Amino acid sequence: MAELHQHIGEIFHRCYSDRNMICEEKVAEHMLAFIFSGEMIIYNSSQKVTIHAGEAAFIRKNHLVRKIKKPIGVTPFSGVFLHLDARLMKQVGALMAIPTMEMDDKLGGQLHIPLGKNDFISGYFRSLDKYFTEGNAPSRELMKVKLQEMLIILLEQKPQLVPMLFDYTPAWRKDLMEFMTNNYLSELS
């Protein structure tokens, strides 16, 4: 087997490959990636990062990135990706108590936020991987619960992600009110 892509709805994606794969995509929605084996290099025009087996990363929306998914020796690349769809995030976020926080300027400009090796996050992604390996797709309601579970884990492990996670500005669009306030100081009549 050279390459395998599996999807569960629009949210969960699994990739398996025994050869280097180069992907280029516009990251329209936030994405969480967990690498089971191999490694993944993500880069854009200004940043380059390697995510190793056992590590997770939060990849910010509104970026054009290249990803190189690489096997290590005879061990194939295997990773699971969670796409944080804004529509579903709003539904799930409405069920939770979301703390109010200001955006950390250092995080705002980063392509990704490393989540490193974390038992809660790896356990979560291992539970997702079972849906792919067992071939039993979860219902839409169960996918919402799994998304809510990840959001709770992220809020506890990386609370500084709150301003990014719950920013529902459509991909590739500026918040017009914020832009006008920051760039125009007088009445335009």
- The reported pLDDT for the residue numbered 39 is 96
Does the model's pTM come out above 0.85?
A: no
70-96 burial, b at 16+ Cβ within 10 Å, e below that, comes to bbeeeebbbbbbbbbbbebbeebbeee
Computed over every residue of the chain, the mean pLDDT equals 81
Predicted confidence (pLDDT) at residue 174 exceeds the cutoff of 90 = no
Predicted confidence (pLDDT) at residue 185 exceeds the cutoff of 70 = no
| Average pLDDT of span 160-164 | 79
Listed in sequence order, the residues at least 6 apart from 53 whose beta carbon sits closer than 8 Å to its beta carbon are: 35, 36, 37, 38, 39, 72
Q: Work out the pLDDT band at 143, boundaries 50, 70, 90.
A: confident
- The reported pLDDT for the residue numbered 25 is 78
CA distances from 53 to 34, 41, 68, 141 (A): 8, 12, 14, 30
- The reported pLDDT for the residue numbered 161 is 81
Predicted confidence (pLDDT) at residue 108 exceeds the cutoff of 80 = no
- The reported pLDDT for the residue numbered 137 is 78
Q: Which tens digit of pLDDT belongs to each residue from 41-95?
A: 998 888 899 999 999 998 888 878 889 999 999 999 999 998 887 777 777 777 7
